[in-house]
Amino acid sequence: MPFLFRTSTRFIIVDEKPRQGVFYQIYDKEGFLRPALIHPSSALTYSATLDHHDNLHVVVQNTNHQTAYYHSFETSPTKRTVLEDTKNMYQFENMSIQILVETPHLFYTVIHPNGNGRSLVHQSLNAASPMATHLITNLPLNCQLSYYVVEDTLYILYPLYEEGYTLNCLTFTENAYDSRTLVRSDIPISDWNMCLHGQKLYVLFTTDTYGHPAFHLLDTLTLKDLALPLPVTATSPSLLSYLDCLWIHYKDGDKLYTLFGLPEQEMFSIPVISSLQLPATLYNYYSLDHKSFNASKVYANLMSTLRLATLSSIDIKEIHPDLSPNLELSLLLEGLSLVSRSPVPSRTSTPIATPMPTPPPLSTIPPIPTAPTPPMPMPSSSPLSPTPPTAVPTVRSVAQAAKDFMQEGNFFEP
């Protein structure tokens, strides 16, 4: 999967073209710059990240199972071989390079000598002779790992299949690491990704029962699991946090769909067709800026311009360097925020808080001249008798009138 990075002024794309190699390309307010080659031939896998100075770091495993580390592209590009497995004994997979503080770290999985499982291995790329540390030793033979960094803390999602199915999270810093189980299930768990929303981490994952998937959103703090209203035909769902909402994108056939949710209120919209349509590619995403929006994977269209799904239509945070902020939308959202924070007036309160003038004393108000009123005729029975009620015709009185009419010998001539 290609990588998409965002700095304060531009995007950086790292991708691969068959038979041409791995390259990076910059997109700024002027558009796309000319691609620059990183690795000049096909690769088995690659990974990339940015450091705290927005410098690019890349690892590439070539077809000879050699892994090289590339960095310092904008000054003097540097290459160094960090792993070599020409006989493919270890079968490196799930390779990822991450920057924690100022140190580049490499993570990958290796197969056990008996071929029955895998281990997750870590090594620092700063050390001259890096030590390989086994972080997890009981991974399944075929497994998918996800990596997500927030403020120099790395979160790694991984599955275990020992007693049922579990989804677990390894928290890794430069000084320590720890692991805990997030989800336990009797059916397979797959296709997960993580996103920071507010002060919480959420995980979107899929459970699959004989080809009938169900989609879930997990609060990693409370471990509360919410069902998501995605159709069974949805594929490759991703999470994105923007404007205090969680946005979920997924593909269904040849269309890209979007829905948003308020997980704290357990509310989700119905899915709608996204304004950004195919070709929309899913990218691994990373940025040091967690204020504009957050995601570990994003859908983007990189045809003539770079446009992110949903964000390009409602961009009020200058995410796209070549787009002007949507000021009208920003004003609308600010107005709605003010309305939501305003107290609701009670039914007994005065609608407009305007002081009313004090009325004069009754003795000073002159009487209103009126025309003389003729006396009303009163019933003869009593001056205090109420006015008799007006007779209201009913169905019964009409029927009685028809009967009387017929009893008097009335009939219609033929």
User: Would you tell me how many other CB atoms lie within 10 Å of the CB of residue 396?
Assistant: 8
Exposed (0-12), middle (13-18) or buried (19+): which is 65, by Cβ within 10 Å? middle
pLDDT at 345: 58
- Give the distance between the most distant pair of CA atoms in the chain: 126
Sole residue written with tokens 């077809």: 63
Can you give the pLDDT at residue 299?
A: 96
414 vs 411: CA distance, rounded Å = 9
pLDDT in tens, 37-56: 999 999 999 999 999 999 99
Positive/negative CA dihedral, 144, 271, 288, 150:
negative
The residues, any chain, with a CB within 8 Å of residue 318's CB and separated by 6 or more, are: 292, 325
Q: What is the pLDDT of residue 358?
A: 52
pLDDT for position 321: 93
Give the pLDDT confidence score for residue 400 in this predicted structure: 53
Task: Give the list of residues 6+ apart from residue 313 with CB closer than 8 angstroms, or none.
Answer: 275, 276
Q: CA 336, CA 129: separation in Å to the nearest integer?
A: 58
Residue 47 has what pLDDT? 97
Name residues whose C-beta falls within 8 Å of residue 257's C-beta, 6 or more positions apart in sequence: 234, 249, 250, 251, 271, 272, 273, 274
Q: Say whether the peptide bond before residue 279 is cis (omega within 30 degrees of 0).
A: yes
- The closest alpha carbon to 310, from 293, 296, 334, belongs to 293
Q: How many Å separate Cα 262 from the centre of its chain?
A: 9
Q: How do 235-242 and 56-62 pair as beta strands?
A: unpaired
What integer pLDDT is reported at residue 138 of this predicted model? 92
pLDDT one-digit tens code per residue, 189-236: 989 999 999 999 999 999 998 889 999 999 999 999 999 999 999 999
Closest-CA residue to 265 (of 292, 290, 245): 245
- φ, ψ of residue 39 to 5 degrees: the values are -125, 125
Phi, psi of 357 (to 5 degrees): -65, 145
Among all chains, which residue has been given the structure tokens 């080809």? 211
Contact call for residues 50 and 73 (beta carbons, < 8 A): no
Mean pLDDT, contiguous 10-residue spans, the chain (414 residues): 94 91 95 94 94 94 94 85 90 95 95 90 83 92 94 96 92 94 94 94 94 95 95 96 95 94 94 87 93 94 93 92 86 81 57 48 48 47 42 46 46 42
